[in-house]
Amino acid sequence: MNDSLMIAGKSYRSRLLVGTGKYKDFAETRAAIDASGAEIVTVAIRRTNIGQNAGEPNLLDVLPPERFTILPNTAGCYTADDAVRTLRLARELLDGHALVKLEVLGDPVSLFPNMPETLKAAEILVKDGFEVMVYCADDPIQAKMLEEIGCVAVMPLASLIGSGMGILNPWNLRLIIDQAKVPVLVDAGVGTASDAAIAMELGCDGVLMNTAIAHAKDPVLMASAMKKAVEAGREAFLAGRMPRKHYSADPSSPTSGLIGS
């Protein structure tokens, strides 16, 4: 079945996008990403160490941009200006690469998005030629605004970043999915495989996660579980679930031909 995920005109086989933070080391990062089957992987942009650890391995040597689609993020940015500067540096770092993940945070406790700054940054970035995948609140109105600005994917949170609390407001996600003309990906909040499956069954085009894999007891095994959950949830969505019957049972076995009748 050809059921690829299209983002900004490029097709991807995997609907699971993964982060690269919080792993024990680069070997574990790479092993987990391979097990996840993800083709798009997020990275953060940070100041380099100056004059120390000159031989230190570089993440992009472990995850070569020729093999993976690198999605630089703006994690840690609290203003549109900082986010835009960070992504211009990322574009230079990645030789003109345009696909980015915008996130402008509102406060360090909740890491909830600051939507006014997010909208402002999205406008600047789209005008500057970036293909913007955007972390946002699960607010259908603002998700639509981001789409109208020209973002190539909207990525509402399912619950707080790194919380593992799962899909807290499936109804809002459905509102966003039903109206969107660009891919909708759940970004943040997935804790375990069933959460990823639920997101996909709701009709999400993909799921982006980091901590659920990196902080599992066995990250590589969880990465494999997430791959299957995203695939299973997608197939269940496409298959179309049976209607719920709240107050009446319906036997699965024949009601005739019973012995003694």
Residues that bind another protein (CB under 8 A): 19-23, 29, 42-48, 50-51, 54, 58-61, 70, 72-73, 75, 85, 88-94, 161-162, 208-211
Q: How far apart are CA 232 and CA 88, in angstroms?
A: 37
Shortest reach from residue 42's CB to another protein, in Å:
6
Task: Check 22, 101, 144, 181 and give the catalytic one.
Answer: 101
Residues 6 or more apart whose Cβ sits within 8 Å of residue 14:
5, 36, 37, 38, 39, 40, 227, 230
Residues 6 or more apart whose Cβ sits within 8 Å of residue 230:
14, 15, 16, 196, 197, 200, 206, 207
Shortest reach from residue 193's CB to another protein, in Å:
18
Task: Establish whether 227 is a catalytic residue.
Answer: no
Shortest reach from residue 163's CB to another protein, in Å:
12
Rg (CA), the chain: 20
Nearer to another protein (CB atom), residue 101 or residue 120: 101
Annotated binding residue 193: no
Annotated binding residue 206: no
**Which whole-number Å values give the CA distances from 47 to 2, 21, 41, 89, in the listed order?**
41, 16, 20, 11
Annotated binding residue 211: yes
Nearer to another protein (CB atom), residue 159 or residue 211: 211
Nearer to another protein (CB atom), residue 89 or residue 141: 89
Q: Report, as residue numbers or ranges, the catalytic residues.
A: 101
